[in-house]
Structure 1
Amino acid sequence: MGITVNGIDIDDALIEQELPHHQQAANPLKQSVHEVVLRTVLLQEVGRLGIEGSDDDARIEALLAREVRVPEADLAACETYYRNHPRQFTRGELVEARHILFQVTPSVPLELVRGTAEAILEAIKAEPARFGELAAQYSNCSSGAVGGSLGQLARGACVPEFDDVLFRLGAGELAGNLVETRFGLHILEVVRRIDGVVLPFDAVRSQIADYLGTAAWQRGVHQYLQILVGRARIEGITLEGSQSPLVQ
């Protein structure tokens, strides 16, 4: 592929070996190339510093442990995070909800589906009592047979984009706009809420410290990679940043 790192050619075979690990990426080939280039940069730095280890992974780990130093999360940082993210530490929170799903398929233009969904949403806003009737008539979800009812849902039970809206609505509140998910377009209403209990700080302090420490470590590695990439002579590709799964 004509890619070199500090004058050393990147073998296409290395990229082919890396490719199976990135099949879920938006662009598997591009991600694989970036991964191999970053790994090469790290191993060249390992060699320059004379770092030893049982294999390449161990040597890279030793390099990062030596070069990336981040402070531990102190009590004040943990308390601040706890105060600012109460929902993250709430347990037992439930919502009873109902929805109408308008499934998007290749055979039906998205604009047509969206137009129908928006018209039904406006009809429900005008006459809320019709929700069940319209769910039975239009929903592409089996819940339409029971008025769109999804029963009681815990946080995290649904896909993130749905969950995010679901737990921001109050009891009896209808989402003002369509909710878009990988399944299609939804009209969503929360029927009832059961408030959870926020865990005490002492019960989650170590969890918060671990999270903040990991986040700081990832930022530190990212910055270190940026320095190495900026210092390296890389030809044949332009790296769009230096974050890599191999060091996360």
Structure 2
Amino acid sequence: MRLVTPVLMVLALAVGCAGDGGGATGPATEGAAPQESIGEVLATINGTPIGSEAFQQEASRKAPANNESLSPAERDEIMQKLIADELLYQESLRRGLDKDPKVKKVMVNTLLRDQVYTNVRNTDFSDEELKKYYDSHKDEFIVPEKVQIKRILIRVTDDRPDDKAKAEAERILAELTKDPAKFKELAAQFSEDPYKRRGGDVGFVAADGKPGLDKAVVDKAFTLQANQLSDVFKTDEGYNIVLVAQRRERVERTFDQMKGAVLRKVKNDRLKDLYDQYVNGLKQGAKIDVKTDKVNALEIKAARKAPSLDAGLAVPSGMEGAEGEMMDEGEPAVAPAPGEEPH
């Protein structure tokens, strides 16, 4: 599974700006495809516009699925990210990092390495400092109790009213009661949620739930023992049958087990501070004009996303590079963006 971090998207955006000047329509070149309009200008950074198209694209990934409007604070966060992207891109140009075509693709990353990443190394952190962090953040290193949920969902529709949907679910439960081994087969045949392709297997879920999964389903599962079927129960989505395939107990990991993870976390916190300081320094020397009223008035549409079937399948942090390759312990392939662990 390829791991994609926000900083890679930052780099991709910055590199893309090499062709369009951060969103402004540039001069046509022979053989070049026509450039799209940037939309309404929402801000200018040293004279370079940030348009509504770029803002919309970034904001659509954060917009709630229920189409509720983003708050002014959320919109400002998005704008600040776009400003940081553009400032880093412009600084890369100022330093001449765009002269070599091969370097052009990673110029922002190169800038961050030179100005931020090289200032922090693993040897900067003593065992005492790491142990102190572990002792004060033990909850972060606890693996909570989880259950492996398998689910069959029968929806209530115009063509299948409530009583018929319930009767269908009870018919399936009766068949499962006779032969629980048929759960995968029956889920694939009758269930009406995205997990039917996996025979109803939702995966391991903690008590606090999983994005896209009704919390009532999780709550029901945690009342069951391993290999136990639920009764038919109703949620907002329809009628459900749940099977708990396995249970995993809560695990508290020791400092020795988690030392590498603690180092990555503490190092990332230091890198985040340096990143913020560097971008803030660029802001102080830049002319930034944000049209807040236009930003807040812009209509945001949520990006269409297919339901994830891989949620909960985590790749250990620090084990993948920028392109998903396995990495040795040491320097990450890309500098981290705020709030992200280095990889």
Instruction: Please give the TM-score of this superposition, normalised by the length of structure 2.
Output: 0.39
Instruction: Please give the TM-score of this superposition, normalised by the length of structure 1.
Output: 0.49
The structure whose RCO (Cα within 8 Å, separation 6+) is larger is 1
